[in-house]
Amino acid sequence: MSDPSALTSEALAAIGKAQTEQELERIEVEYLGRKGGRVSKLLEGIGKLGPEQKASLGKAVNEAKRAIEAALAAMRAELEASRLADLAETEAIDITFPGPPLGRGHIHVLTQVRRQIETVLESLGYQVELGPEVETEWYNFEALNLTVGHPARENWDSFYFNSQLLLRAHTSPVQIRAMQRIKEPPIYIITPGRCYRRDAPEATRLPYFSQVEGLAVDKGLTVGDMKGTLLYMIQSLYGRDRKVRVRPSYFPFTEPSFEFDVTCGICGGMGCKSCRHKGWLEVGGCGMVHPQVLRNGGIDPAQWNGYAWGFGIERMAMLKHDVDDIRLFYESDLRFLEQF
Amino acid sequence: MRISYEWLGDFLDLDGVTPKDAAEVLTRLGIEVESLTMVDLSQIVIGKVLEQKQHATSRTALWIHQVDLGDHVQQIIAGAPNAVPGSLVPVALPGTTVPNGKLVRDTYIAGEKASGMLCSADELLLGEDHAGILILDRGKPGDALTTVIPSQAIMEAEITSNRPDEMGHLGIARELAAGLDRPLKRDFMPAFTGTADPPGRDLVKVTIDDPDLSSRYIGGVIKGVRVGPSPEWMQRRLRACGVRPINNIVDITNYVLLEYAQPLHAFDLAKLNGPAIHVRRAKANEKLLCLDGEERRLTPDMLVIADALRPVAIAGVIGGEETAVTGATVDVLLEAANFSGPSVRQTSRALGLRTEASARFERALPPELALAGARRAASLISELAGGSVHREWADVYPRPQEPVRVNLRPALIDDVLGTHVPLEEAESILKRLNFHVKVMADGEWDILPPVFRLDVTIPEDLVEEVGRVYGYDRVPPTLPGRRRDSWTPSAPSLDRRLDSMREVLAGSGYTETWNPALVSGRNLEALRIAAHAMRVSNPLSDDMDTLRTSVLPSLIDVVALNRDRGRLDVRVYEIAAAFLARVGDKNTQPEEPLRLAAVATAGLTAEDGRVAFYRLKSVLDGCVAALAAPACTYQRASAQLFHPGRCAAVVMEGRQLGYIGELHPTVAAAARIDGRVVAFEIDVEPVLAASRIPRALPLPRFPGVERDLAVVVEETVAAGALLATIKESAGDLLELVRAFDEYRGAQVPEGHKSVAFTLTFRSSERTLTDAEVDRVMSEIKVALEKRHRARFRE
Ligand SMILES: [Zn+2]
């Protein structure tokens, strides 16, 4: 039978020499194991002792246990601290090695730009209206003052299915349908959607494209309100240093009619090669809604007036992302689509 | 239209107004100047050719000229032979740059000294004429060329279709004068009339069959003209505007067209049978040899000018060769007419011939313009070609132009523009544009637009006139808004709702595409999905002649294109409408169901295809789940484009949304795609309609118990059927069951498969014991045995 204090010294010495957690575990089992641990073994034959001796041995053994446990805990803390202190060397990785490809898909750049436009105009209280792509002659042309034989109609050369049905040349039919449906102004809507014109494909235009048109019908709207709306939209999309100008033009469905331009983003309006030295880039058309068009939508022009505008989403995306060929949007080459 | 700055100077004082200023003002007025070409002639001098001989040794034909330059004579070599001795020619001396950009140097050509260059109109940017050296009609050797030809500035401008009056320099000058607030030096209606006897109307008989097609025809008779070249200034201006000079009479008609926008035509009076003019429809099988040398076959929907026997011109488009003015012409019939715009456009399109004349008539010219143009041309002919103009021309005018009056409440100007325009300024602007303004007792303005402005008919048109001259830059931008007592609540747009699907697709590696809706009808037929296709009656080409009935073929093409460009793994989708004609009714709009379609490539083996199919199914389930719509079920189906053994109908709440499957090998092969392709296409609107707001469930308070179950059944038993049996027989404690593996091979009998499931059991009231779960598991096994003759692997 050994003496508790001698056993304790022996255990503490072993703990002091231990270098790893595994060694500490082995020491723990050797001395403190529930069955067969050397500390427990000190109590073998305690039954033969008298009560006083019993009590003193029990106390000594408990002290030995606590001392060994405390030494183990201290040593463990020391080992852990030194392990953590060495992490920089032991577990260093090459952080310059690139991550594996994510394989994420991309949302089409035209969807992204359309979303930005919608978000900006929704913030002004406009709501999205949609309509059919195959339209009737009346909604596409007649209701917009583009009567048969009108000289302006050649700008909206269209694909026909028969004398009555055609692919819409603009989203303006949605404006008429919206006025007819909503009936009671105020009306503040935007009409994004696909359109079709019979133009041979080239770098700047395609027989299919996408528009966002806007329409406001209310009391006492002005050319100034139209300018402000366009300016708010352009500055929200391209930055507050951009300017907008409206230039008189002609559309049968607005009076007065305009084209609207935005200052060139490259030269800031001074004139450069990319804006053909004009300082301005053409964006779209706009104007005050023609009274007859309001009437065709079931709105009384004596009580209400309105303004409308329209532009190509592709054009906006080209300006924003420096895309120089409109065909890229519809060619579906992943090398292009994955850039956005 | 091309505008010559020099020409505008005939009509208003341009002192202090540079060509760039003029272009800026015109653009702000609504005449968009797209380009401005400056031609600086100040470095070019006038020379007189003294001698000309052909170069003896050069292999190409060259001529050596001795040219008098005032103080000395210089030897100049040219490639054209027309600078004969005595000619006055423009000379570019060594060291100068010719307007077309060429730098002239002292040099030797095949041994002969060449000091300078004789210039063509083309090189001086005075026209597209390559005919040879430009021959001047006056000038002093040694003087600057600008003493006879001013430096030029040519603007290319876009004229809107409502303003045919701006298709001439006078109309442009009128706008510029109004914009600059300077007086216009020319009245619209020239005072000139002929004086010779007898009255012109007695010399030629004019009849118009259909006043709807021709509302006016003026035929002026001018006798004893001397046909020859027109003066250099006229030729120069014509060239500047892209018109080739021919002879003085023809040049004058073109010149007046470019000035007044009124097309004119001159006939050789001696060659007109009758002499009579009959404005009528062409008869079947009539033909006309036109001025451009082409014989054209006419149809009865074309309007012609005929003499007593035959057509001599196609109304408003082109004249006939046989009655044209030539060097031998002595007497001329000058035509100034008005033809209906739609009729001229139709004829011009049918013939595939667009001329300066047809471009103007198409836009509906005012008939009053005809007289102004005729008078201007007659006065120029009498001045430049001699001849006596007869008085009282034939002027058949069955539909006189009605004056239009417009009432304007002047406050409307401020109301529409959103800024204050002083009344005096508004009135002054209208007057500058030749509107008559009468202020009435009630303050309204009674306004008479000038006769050449048929486009002004409503008060808003007048607001536009004031606004564009006042300047829209002066209208401050504002945002509309007022206190409202009613509104429409906002709702997320369709696109915003679809964004949650786009997020799932992007996260799963699918890239969105936008593909043309117009596709090849032949391809749809080959794929046998053309049943409800809508065919375009006037397609641009046969690969874009039909609206797609399905989005899938576009995506298959996208796969092929990207494979061609070196991409192996292609995962793409599109959200777009398909177009389905409604059965039995050609005149109603088609259905335009919004579709979501996706395709993904896989490897070459059947197993690759199988794995890809299940992956795609997860993507589709994820899209549906993202909208919080009820889960789809899948039913074995067969459909066009799909593999017969690997296709399912996608069903939600009993409604079929579309199909998912592997593409039929022949479809992939037809698109030249190697390997397997999986795809789906569904209707999106029912999914959106079924979309619900997700409701939060309490989190489980007690642990769940998971058990795996491997079920061996015959090949024909579907996993879906096993799942249904499991759910049915398990009772309330089964929280979730998922199939995770399908196995065939050594440990499974021939003709059988093993399907592995993970089942999760949970009670919301207590912790389940193993015994409870065992009981449920054995009930499930019994049901599977009974219904599917299943056995179980440990
Ligand atoms: Zn620029």
Contact: B464, A194; criterion CB under 8 Å: no
The Cα B71–Cα B52 span in angstroms is: 19
Residue window 11-70, chain A: list those with CB within 8 Å of chain B.
none
CA of A311 to the centre of ligand 1 (A): 20
Residues 6+ apart with CB under 8 A from A328: A336
Banded model confidence at residue B434, pLDDT cuts 50, 70, 90: very high
Residue B696 belongs to a domain: no
Say whether pLDDT at B621 is over 90: yes
Structural Rg of chain B based on CA atoms: 41
- Residue B668 and residue B527 share a domain: yes
CA A244 to centroid of ligand 1, rounded, Å: 14
**Which of A135, A329, A338 is closest, CB to CB, to B511?**
A338
Q: What is d(CA B182, CA B170) in angstroms, rounded to the nearest whole number?
A: 14
Amino acid (one-letter) located at B734: L
Mean pLDDT of chain A: 92
Whether pLDDT at B745 is above 70: yes
Q: Is A130 exposed, middle or buried (0-12, 13-18, 19+ CB in 10 A)?
A: middle
What residues in B contact A198, CB-CB < 8 Å?
538, 540
pLDDT at residue B141, rounded to an integer: 93
What's the average model confidence in pLDDT over B521-541?
95
Reported in sequence order, the residue ranges of B637-733 that DSSP labels E, i.e. its strands, are 642-652, 655-663, 677-683, 705-714
pLDDT at position B110: 82
Same domain, B294 and B425: no
CATH of the domain at B441: 3.30.56.10
Q: Which two structure tokens, joined as six digits, stand for A267?
A: 């030269």
Residue B547 near residue B533 (C-beta atoms within 8 A): yes
pLDDT higher than threshold 90 for residue A150: no
What average pLDDT score do residues B382-399 get? 94
Q: What is the pLDDT of residue B630?
A: 96
Q: Could you tell me the distance, in angstroms and rounded to a whole number, from the CA of residue A263 to the centre of ligand 1?
A: 8
Asked if residue B663 belongs to a domain, the reply is yes
Number of H helices, E strands in chain A: 13, 9
Q: Does residue B570 fall inside a structural domain?
A: yes
List B260's β-bridge partners, or say none.
none
Q: Both B389 and B415 in a single domain?
A: no
Which pLDDT value is given to residue A2? 66
d(CA A110, CA A207): 16
What does each C-alpha distance from B728 to A100, B709, B722 come to in angstroms? 44, 16, 10
Domain-embedded: residue B611: yes
Q: Looking at chain A, how many residues does it have?
A: 340
Out of A105, A151, A221, name the one closest to residue B341 (CB). Answer: A151
Count how many domains chain B has. Answer: 6
Q: List pLDDT tens digits, range B277-300.
A: 999 999 999 999 999 999 999 999
Task: Pick the last residue of a domain from B361, B396, B431.
Answer: B396
Strands B546-547 and B633-636: unpaired
Of B252, B175, B220, B223, the C-alpha closest to B371 is: B220
Provide the Cα torsion B744, B746, B752, B756; round to 10°.
-50
CA angle A213, B160, B417 (to 5 degrees): 60
Contact B331, B266 (CB under 8 A): no
Q: What is the distance between the alpha carbons of residues A61 and B769, in angstroms, rounded to a whole number?
A: 43
Per-residue pLDDT reduced to its tens digit, B624-682: 999 999 999 999 999 999 999 999 999 999 999 999 999 999 999 999 999 999 999 99
Q: Is residue B487 in a domain?
A: no
**Per-window interface: B 405-444 vs A, CB < 8 A:** 415-419
d(CA B426, CA B405): 17
Residue B697 near residue B765 (C-beta atoms within 8 A)? no
Q: What is the mean pLDDT of residues A77-101?
A: 89
| Distance of alpha carbon B792 from the chain centroid | 69
The helix, strand and coil proportions of chain B, stated in percent and rounded to the nearest 5, come to 30, 30, 45
How many C-beta atoms lie closer than 10 Å to residue B636's C-beta?
A: 12
- Asked whether residue B526 falls in the same domain as residue B671, the answer is yes
Spatial distance between the Cα atoms of B24 and B33, rounded to a whole number of angstroms: 8
Cβ <8 Å between A167 and B539: no
For residues B246 and B385, membership in a common domain is answered with: yes
pLDDT band at B524 (very low <50, low <70, confident <90, very high): very high
Identify any residues that bridge with A166 across adjacent strands, giving them in sequence order. Answer: A135, A160
Q: Is the pLDDT of residue B491 over 90?
A: no
User: Which residue, B329, B361, B396, sits at the end of a domain?
Assistant: B396
Q: What is the DSSP letter of B297?
A: E
| Same domain as B536, residue B463 | no
Residues of A in contact with B415 (CB under 8 A): 220, 222
Chain A residue with minimal CA distance to B544? A207
Closest CA to B157 of B145, B147, B171: B171
Residue B561 parent element (H or E)? helix B552-564
Quick: pLDDT tens for A277-336: 889 999 999 999 999 999 999 999 999 999 999 999 999 999 899 899 999 999 999 999
Residue B489 lies in a domain: no
pLDDT at B130: 65
Of the listed ranges B100-109, B151-160, B331-340, the one predicted with least confidence:
B100-109
Are B648 and B533 in the same domain? yes
Q: What pLDDT shows up at residue B184?
A: 94
- The rounded Å distance from CA B424 to ligand 1 centre is 38
Confidence tier at B111 by pLDDT (50, 70, 90): confident
A134/B contact by beta carbon, under 8 A:
yes
Which 3 state secondary structure label does DSSP give B32?
strand
Angle, helices B459-470 vs B19-29, to 10°: value is 150
Q: Give tens-digit pLDDT for B175-187.
A: 999 999 999 999 8
Of A154, A218, A331, the CB nearest to B480: A218
A104 interaction partners in chain B (CB closer than 8 Å)? 506-507, 509
Inter-residue contact B244 to B129 (CB < 8 Å)? yes
Q: Is A281 on the interface with B (CB under 8 A)?
A: no
CA distance B550 to B784: 41
* Better-scored residue on pLDDT, B456 or A156: B456
Residues B305 and B173 occupy one common structural domain: no
Give B549's DSSP letter. Answer: S
Residue B485 lies in a domain: no
The pLDDT score that the predictor gives to residue B669 is: 94
The answer, yes or no, to whether residue B325 has pLDDT greater than 80, is yes
**Contact present, A190 and A121 (Cβ < 8 Å):** yes
pLDDT computed for residue B129 by the predictor: 67
Average pLDDT across chain B, whole number: 94
Cβ proximity of B91 and B115 under 8 Å: no
Assess contact for B345 and B362: CB atoms under 8 A: yes
More confident residue, B745 or B316: B316
Report pLDDT for A39. 84
Q: Are residues B372 and B417 in the same domain?
A: no
Cα torsion at B369, B372, B373, B375 (round to 10°)? 160
Kindly state whether residues B222 and B285 are assigned to the same domain: yes
| CA of B587 vs chain A CAs: smallest distance (Å) | 7
pLDDT at residue B690 in the model: 96
Evaluate whether residue B187 is within a structural domain: no
| B82 and B64 together in one domain | yes
B590 CB neighbours in chain A (<8 A) are: 134
Chain B, 743 to 772: residues with Cβ < 8 Å from chain A are none
CA of A267 from ligand 1 middle (Å) equals 4
Q: What is the enclosing helix (H) or strand (E) of B600?
A: strand B594-601
The CA-CA-CA angle for residues B347, B349, B351, to 5°, reads 70
A224 chain-B contacts, CB cut-off 8 A: 417-419, 475-478
pLDDT at position B649 is: 98
Which of B667, B690, B713 represents a domain boundary (last residue)? B690
Whether chain B has a CB inside 8 Å of the CB on A335: the answer is yes
**B145 and B158 share one domain:** no
Point out the least confidently predicted range of A235-249, B3-17, B93-107, B705-719.
B93-107
Query: B 495-534 residues with CB below 8 A of A?
Result: 495-496, 499, 502, 505-518, 534
The pLDDT tens digits of the residues spanning B50-75 come to 999 988 888 888 999 999 999 899 99
CATH number of B55's domain: 2.40.50.140
CA atoms within 13 A on the CB side of A39: 26
**Contacts of residue A273 in chain B, CB cutoff 8 Å?**
none
Instruction: Confirm whether the ipTM is greater than 0.90.
Output: no
Predicted confidence band at A276 (pLDDT cuts at 50, 70, 90)? confident
Domain of residue B432 covers: 406-473
